[in-house]
Structures are given as structure tokens and as C-alpha cells.
Amino acid sequence: MLAVDMTGDAVKAKNGAMVAYDGEMTFKKRTGGGEGLRGMVTRRLTGEQMEVMEVKGRGTCYFADRASEINLVSLHGEKLYVEASNLLCTDSALRTGTTFTGLRGASQGNGLFTTSVEGTGQAAILSDGTAIVLRVTPQTPLQVDPGAYIAHTGNLKQHFQSGVNFRTFIGEGSGEAFQIRFEGDGLVYVQPSERNTIGGDV
């Protein structure tokens, strides 16, 4: 559960994630992820729909979603890429948008697009079990199971890596045939659990 202290400022949060609050709060639904008409259309087109509300007021507001773990990420001008379903709450100073991720997104069963959060402030992301933060450096690239990936920051290049060979097709696959390979400099957030993915059983 996440507690947010507010003194007249606002946060953007997943619609319906508020579980309790004290003080004075107003909740306002922001159509189309709070990014205006263009954002709304983009999100509808890309399947990264995000039901967002703006919470404003004085006091403490508590957010939670299906007893998932919540991880706070501080941003200082950099960009955080996160799956829309894993984004719980952001400072209203942070801009959200939609980015193309290519084949990687498709393998996660989460569509070809992902949500980006940019600016200075804090964002709260959800994970099934405590998230593990792994640093990627040019010397140490990282491979991540598509189902366990939740978010990343920094200047990272993603490759889709597949170990499919003829044995996959005769039912002797390794179950780890698909990975996302991260190269560059940055942090990757991984959850200790796997979503169902297209490549999961291969």
C-alpha cells in the first residue's frame, strides 16, 4: 500500500486504486490517460489504455491494487518505461506518453507499445512480489524473461532474443526460448513471477 501526503498538490493514479484517505480530497477521472485528445487516441490505437484519475487535496491518500507490491521510483529528468498495467501512481509533474517497443512487447502479451513516464518526481510501479532492480552496463548486458519484465529506466537498447531451434518444434524446447536482451546503461525492474506470455511454454 502506498501513502501519499498531499498539501494542495495533485497526483495521477490508476483509476479506482484509492483505498482510503483522510483530509479533503477530490477525485477526477482523466479521460485517455490525462494526455489530452491526442493521448487518448494514441492509447486507444496502441492498446495501452490507462484509466487515470487525478487526486487533489490536502491530507493523506492511500493507494493499493490487488495486494501487489509497490515500488517507488524517483525520476530526475530521465524516462521510465513501464507497462500501463504496472503503473499505479505518478506525481502530476510527470508526463506520461506511449512508446513503440516492437517485438518485445508482443512477446510479453502486452502489446507492441509501452508507457513512458518523464520528468522529475516519483512514480509508483506495481509488481507481483518484491521487484528486483538490476543494473545494466555496457560490459554486462542483461537478459530478462518477457513475463518478468515490468519497467526500465536509462539509455537501454532492447533486443528480442530467441533460442528457438528445431528441438522446440519437436516438443523439446527449453521453456526459455525468448528473452529480452538489454544493452547500454540503465536499470531494469524485474518481478519474481511471470505473466502468461506467448513464448512462455515454448
Partner 1 sequence: MNGPEIYDAQTLPSDDNVNSYAFSVDLDGQWFLQKGKMVAYYGQIDFHGIGLGRLDSLIAHSFHSPLHASDWVVAEGRGKMVLADRAFDVNSYDLEDGNLTVRSGNLLAFQPSLSLKQSIIPGFLTLIGTGKFVAASNGPVVFVEPPIRVDPQALVGWADCPSPCHHYDHQYLRGVLGGVRAWTGIGGTSGEEHQFEFVGSGTVLLQSTEELMPELATGAVPQQEGVPNATGANQPSQPGGSGQLGALQRRFGL
- Using CB under 8 A, list all residues that contact partner 1: 71-74, 128-137, 139-145, 147-148, 163, 167-168, 171-177, 187-188, 190-194, 200-201
Least separation in angstroms between residue 187's CB and partner 1 is 6
Element (H, E) at 182: strand 178-190
Q: Say if CB 27 and CB 54 are below 8 A apart.
A: yes
Q: Which long-range contacts (CB under 8 A, 24 or more apart) does 133-139 make?
A: 133/187, 133/188, 133/189, 133/190, 134/187, 134/188, 134/189, 134/190, 135/186, 135/187, 135/188, 136/182, 136/183, 136/184, 136/185, 136/186, 136/187, 136/188, 137/185, 138/183, 138/184, 138/185
Q: How far is the CB of 201 from partner 1 (least distance, A)?
A: 8
Strand ranges, E, within 101-177: 113-127, 132-136, 142-144, 149-162
Residue among 149, 122, 117, 118 at smallest CA distance from 136: 149
Nearer to partner 1, 105 or 186 (CB): 186
* Nearest CB to partner 1, comparing residues 141 and 184: 141
Comparison of 51 and 128: residue with beta carbon closer to partner 1: 128
Q: How far is the CB of 101 from partner 1 (least distance, A)?
A: 17
Residue with cell 501519499: 4
Shortest CB 4 distance to partner 1, Å: 14
CB nearer to partner 1: give 6 or 177.
Answer: 177
Q: For partner 1, which is the closer residue by CB, 15 or 140?
A: 140
Instruction: Give the shortest CB-143-to-partner 1 separation in angstroms.
Output: 5
